[in-house]
C-alpha cells in the first residue's frame, strides 16, 4: 500500500502545477461549502433565536378569540386578570418567565411627522424583557408605575430625531373603538439588532398601557419562556384552561420551523452541486494523466500489474489530491467561518414578517458535525469520481506499450 502512495505522490509531482491547481479547486470548494454551511447555521440559529425571544416566546396563552393580526384591545379578545394567570404559570418548574403583554396599535408624532407603531404594554421587571433591557443604548428602562414614560427603538428615535428626555405624542386605538392621545417622555432607547423590529414598536408599562387603551385589567397574551423549549408541548398541555388557547413556538412559527427543516436538504443540494464541479476538475486531471501515461500503464501491465492494482494506483493519486485539497480547504473554511463568527456579516434591515425575524448582522457558526460531514462527503465524492479514469486506465491493453515503443 505504501508503495502505491509513494508512486502516486511522485506522479502528482510530475505535473506539480496541475496537481496544485486541482488540489486548490478542491480546497476552494471545501472552504466555500464550509462557509456556506456555517452561514446557514448562523442564520437559522439567529433567526430562530430572535423570533423566539422577540416575537413568539416558547408559549403564548391567549384568549380563545384572540387574533394577533388585529391588535384589537376590545375586551372580548383579551385575557382577564393577566397578572394572576402569569404568576400561576411562572410558578411552574419548567417555566423561566411568564409575563402579560398588551398589544395596541398607535401613531407616534413629533412636530409634523407621524409614524404608525405597535404599542406593547409590558411588566418592566420581567426576565422576558432581557433583549430590550440588555439592548438599551441610552437612558433607562421603564418602571412599573411610570405614567408618562415610554421606551422606543433606535431607528425610530433616529428617524424622528428623538433623544432621552424628549417628548412625543402617542395616539392609541382604544377598546371602545375610538382613539386617545397623550404626551410621553422618552426614558430609554434600545436596539435588538433587528432594525425591522426596532423601528415599529414602543413600550409602555403594562398598567399605563391598560389605562391608556381602555383595556383595563386585560392583556393580549401571557408571553412564556421555558427553560427548555423542547418541553413546550408538555407545558402547554399542563396550563390548558377554558376560554384560553395555548400556542407553542412550533405552532406560532410554522414557516420558520419548515424552513429550518428544509435547510438541511437545501444545503445538501448546494453541497452536491459544488462538489460535483470540483470532482469534475479532479476527474479531468486524472483523465489527462491516464492519457499521458498510456504507455507507462502498458508497461506496468506487461510486467504483471493487474487491473485492480492499476485502479489502486490511480485511486491513491486521487486520495492524495483529496487529502491535500480538503485539508487545506477545511482549514481555510474553518478560519473564514471563525472570523465571520466573531465579527459577523452585516446585511442591514432585511424587513420582517410576523413569523420570521432576521437580524441585521449574521454570525457564522461552523458546527463540528457539519464540518466533519463535509470533509467526509468531499473525500468520498472525489475518490468515487476518480473511479472512472482509474477504470479506464485499468482496461488498457498492454499491447499499447510495445506498439508505441516503435
Partner 1 sequence: MEVAKLTDVTRIYRIGEVETRALNGITMTIESGEFTSLVGPSGSGKTTLLQLIGCLDRPTSGQVVINGKETTNLNRNQRADLRKGTIGFVFQFFALIPTLTAYENVEMPLLLNGKSPSERRKRVMELLEAVDITNHAHHRPDQLSGGQQQRVAVARALSTNPKMILADEPTANLDTENGEQVMEIMKKLNKETGTTFVFATHDPRVIKHATRVVTLHDGLIEKDSKQ
Which residues form the interface with partner 1 (CB under 8 A)? 3, 7, 10-11, 13-14, 295-296, 299-309, 395, 397-399, 401-403, 405-406
**Of 10 and 403, which CB lies nearer to ligand ATP in the complex structure?**
403
Task: Give every CB contact of residue 88 below 8 A, 6+ residues apart in sequence.
Answer: none
Nearer to partner 1, 61 or 321 (CB): 321
CB closer to partner 1 out of 207 and 300: 300
Q: What is the dihedral sign for C-alpha 302, 306, 310, 312?
A: negative
Q: Which does 303 bind (CB under 5 to 8 A by kind): partner 1, ligand ATP, none?
A: partner 1
406 is a contact residue toward ligand ATP (CB under 6 A):
yes
The answer to whether 209 touches 175, Cβ cutoff 8 Å, is no
178 interacts with, out of partner 1, ligand ATP, none, CB within 5 to 8 A per kind: none
Q: Decide which of partner 1, ligand ATP, none touches 227; Cβ closer than 5 to 8 Å per partner kind.
A: none
CB of 406 to ligand ATP, least distance (A): 5
Tell me the C-alpha distance between 347 and 325, whole Å: 31
Classify residue 317 by its DSSP letter: H
Q: Which does 392 bind (CB under 5 to 8 A by kind): ligand ATP, partner 1, none?
A: none
Q: Which residue is nearest to ligand ATP (CB)?
A: 403
Q: CA–CA separation, 385 vs 276, rounded Å?
A: 9
d(CA 123, CA 101): 7
For 216, the grid coordinates are: 383595563
Interface of this chain with ligand ATP, residues 384 to 403, rule: CB under 6 A: 403
404 touching ligand ATP, by CB under 6 A? no
For residue 106, the surrounding DSSP H or E stretch is: strand 95-110
**Closer Cβ to partner 1, 6 or 163, answer by number:** 6
Entry field: residues in the chain: 406
End-to-end CA distance of the chain: 33
DSSP, collapsed to helix, strand or coil, labels residue 333 as helix
Of 147 and 306, the one with the shorter C-beta distance to partner 1 is: 306
Q: Alpha helix locations (H) across 15-80? A: 16-50
CA distance 269 to 197: 32
Interacting residues with ligand ATP between 150 and 179 (CB under 6 A): none
List beta partners, residue 136: 190
- Binding-site residue total for ligand ATP (CB under 6 A)? 2
Instruction: State which residue, 277 or 399, has the beta carbon closest to ligand ATP.
Output: 399
- Which of partner 1, ligand ATP, none is residue 70 near (CB under 5 to 8 Å by kind)? none
In this structure, what C-alpha cell is assigned to residue 22?
Answer: 486541482
What is the DSSP secondary structure assignment for residue 53, as one 8-state letter? I
Task: Return the number of the residue (302 or 380) whose C-beta is nearest partner 1.
Answer: 302
Q: Which does 211 bind (CB under 5 to 8 A by kind): ligand ATP, partner 1, none?
A: none
**Contact positions toward ligand ATP, by CB under 6 A?**
403, 406
Amino acid at each position: 500500500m505504501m508503495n502505491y502512495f509513494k508512486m502516486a505522490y511522485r506522479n502528482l509531482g510530475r505535473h506539480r502545477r496541475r496537481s496544485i491547481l486541482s488540489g486548490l479547486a478542491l480546497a476552494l470548494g471545501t472552504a466555500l461549502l464550509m462557509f456556506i454551511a456555517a452561514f446557514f447555521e448562523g442564520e437559522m440559529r439567529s433567526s430562530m433565536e430572535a423570533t423566539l425571544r422577540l416575537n413568539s416566546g416558547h408559549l403564548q396563552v391567549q384568549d380563545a378569540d384572540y387574533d394577533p393580526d388585529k391588535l384589537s384591545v376590545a375586551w372580548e379578545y383579551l385575557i382577564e386578570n393577566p397578572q394572576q394567570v402569569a404568576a400561576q404559570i411562572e410558578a411552574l418548574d419548567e417555566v423561566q418567565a411568564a409575563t402579560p403583554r398588551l398589544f395596541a396599535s398607535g401613531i407616534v408624532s413629533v412636530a409634523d411627522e407621524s409614524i404608525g407603531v405597535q404599542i406593547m404594554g409590558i411588566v418592566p421587571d420581567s426576565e422576558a424583557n432581557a433583549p430590550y433591557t440588555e439592548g438599551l443604548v441610552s437612558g433607562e428602562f421603564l418602571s412599573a408605575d411610570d405614567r408618562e414614560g415610554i421606551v422606543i427603538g433606535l431607528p425610530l428615535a433616529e428617524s424622528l430625531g428623538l433623544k432621552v428626555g424628549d417628548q412625543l405624542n402617542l395616539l392609541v386605538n382604544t377598546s371602545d373603538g375610538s382613539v386617545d392621545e397623550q404626551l410621553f417622555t422618552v426614558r430609554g432607547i434600545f436596539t435588538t439588532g433587528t432594525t425591522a423590529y426596532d423601528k415599529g414598536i414602543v413600550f409602555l408599562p403594562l398598567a399605563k398601557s391598560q389605562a391608556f387603551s381602555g383595556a383595563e385589567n386585560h392583556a393580549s397574551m401571557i408571553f412564556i419562556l421555558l427553560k427548555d423549549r423542547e418541553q413546550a408541548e408538555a407545558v402547554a398541555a399542563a396550563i390548558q384552561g377554558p376560554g384560553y388557547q395555548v400556542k407553542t413556538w412550533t405552532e406560532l412559527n410554522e414557516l420558520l420551523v419548515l424552513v429550518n427543516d428544509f435547510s438541511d436538504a437545501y444545503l445538501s443540494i448546494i453541497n452536491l452541486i459544488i462538489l460535483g464541479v470540483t470532482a469534475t476538475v479532479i476527474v479531468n486531471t486524472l483523465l489527462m494523466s491516464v492519457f499521458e501515461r498510456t504507455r507507462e500503464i502498458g508497461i506496468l501491465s506487461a510486467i504483471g500489474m493487474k487491473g485492480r492494482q492499476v485502479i489502486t494506483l490511480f485511486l491513491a493519486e486521487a486520495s492524495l489530491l483529496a487529502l491535500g485539497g480538503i485539508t487545506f480547504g477545511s482549514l481555510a473554511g474553518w478560519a473564514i467561518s471563525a472570523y465571520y463568527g466573531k465579527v459577523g456579516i452585516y446585511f442591514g434591515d432585511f424587513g420582517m414578517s410576523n413569523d420570521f425575524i432576521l437580524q441585521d448582522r449574521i454570525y457564522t457558526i461552523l458546527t463540528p458535525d457539519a464540518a466533519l460531514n463535509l470533509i467526509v462527503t468531499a473525500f468520498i465524492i472525489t475518490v468515487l469520481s476518480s473511479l472512472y479514469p482509474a477504470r479506464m486506465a485499468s482496461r488498457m491493453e498492454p499491447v499499447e506499450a510495445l506498439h508505441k515503443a516503435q
